[in-house]
Amino acid sequence: MILTLKSGSSKKEVDRVIKKIKKFGYRPHVSRGVDVTIIGMIGERAERYRDTFEAMESVDHISEIEKPYKLASREFKKENTIVNAAGIKIGGKTVVIMAGPCAIETREIALETARAVREAGAVIFRGGAFKPRSSPYTFQGLGEKGLRYLADVKKRTGLPTVSEAMTTSQVALVGKYCDIIQIGARNVQNYDLLKEAGKQRKPVLLKRGMATTIKELLLSAEYIMSQGNYNVILCERGIRTFEDATRFTLDLNAVPVLKKATHLPVVVDPSHGIGIREHVAAMAKASVAAGADGLILEVHPRPEEALSDGPQSLLPEQFAKLMQELKVLAGAVGRNI
Ligand code: PEP
Ligand code: MN
Ligand 1 neighbourhood includes 240 CB (under 6 angstroms) = no
Give the closest residue (by CA) to ligand 1 atom 6.
184
Ligand 1 neighbourhood includes 132 CB (under 6 angstroms) = yes
pLDDT for 44 equals 87
pLDDT for 234 equals 99
Residue-wise pLDDT for 208-223, tens only, equals 999 999 999 999 999 9
Ligand 1 neighbourhood includes 237 CB (under 6 angstroms) = yes
Of the candidates 318, 295, 294, 314, which has an alpha carbon nearest to the alpha carbon of residue 303?
A: 314
Return the number of other C-beta atoms located less than 10 Å from residue 334's C-beta: 8
Ligand 1 pocket test, candidate residues 212, 250, 272, 280, most atoms within 8 A of CB = 272
Ligand 1 neighbourhood includes 275 CB (under 6 angstroms) = no
Q: How far apart are CA 39 and CA 302, in angstroms?
A: 52
Ligand 1 neighbourhood includes 98 CB (under 6 angstroms) = no
**83-332: which CATH number, 3.40.50.700, 3.30.2130.10, 3.20.20.70, 3.30.479.10?**
3.20.20.70
User: CATH 3.30.70.1140 in the chain, residues?
Assistant: 2-63
Q: How far apart are CA 260 and CA 262, in angstroms?
A: 6
pLDDT for 224 equals 97
pLDDT for 318 equals 98
User: CATH 3.20.20.70 in the chain, residues?
Assistant: 83-332
Return the number of other C-beta atoms located less than 10 Å from residue 68's C-beta: 12
Residue-wise pLDDT for 227-285, tens only, equals 999 999 999 999 999 999 999 999 999 999 999 999 999 999 999 999 999 999 999 99
pLDDT for 31 equals 84
Q: Which ligand is nearest to the Cα of residue 212, counting in written order?
A: 1
- Specify the ligand 1 atom closest to the Cα of 235: 9
All residue ranges of the chain with pLDDT < 70 are none
Q: How far apart are CA 258 and CA 184, in angstroms?
A: 18
For residue 265, give the 3-state DSSP assignment: coil
**pTM score over 0.75:** yes
Q: How far apart are CA 156 and CA 179, in angstroms?
A: 15
Ligand 1 neighbourhood includes 185 CB (under 6 angstroms) = yes
Q: How far apart are CA 22 and CA 277, in angstroms?
A: 52
User: Could you tell me which CATH class the domain 2-63 is placed in?
Assistant: alpha beta
Give the closest residue (by CA) to ligand 1 atom 2.
102
pLDDT for 43 equals 85
Ligand 1 neighbourhood includes 277 CB (under 6 angstroms) = no
Strand-strand pairing, 59-63 and 2-5: antiparallel
Between the CA of 284 and the centroid of ligand 1 the distance, in Å, is 16
- Which region holds residue 295: left if phi is over 0, alpha if psi is between -120 and 50, else beta? beta
Between the CA of 184 and the centroid of ligand 2 the distance, in Å, is 10
Ligand 1 neighbourhood includes 300 CB (under 6 angstroms) = no
Q: How far apart are CA 337 and CA 335, in angstroms?
A: 7
Report yes or no: 296 and 162 within 8 Å, Cβ to Cβ. Answer: yes
Ligand 1 neighbourhood includes 128 CB (under 6 angstroms) = yes
Between the CA of 30 and the centroid of ligand 2 the distance, in Å, is 38
Of the candidates 46, 79, 80, which has an alpha carbon nearest to the alpha carbon of residue 63?
A: 46
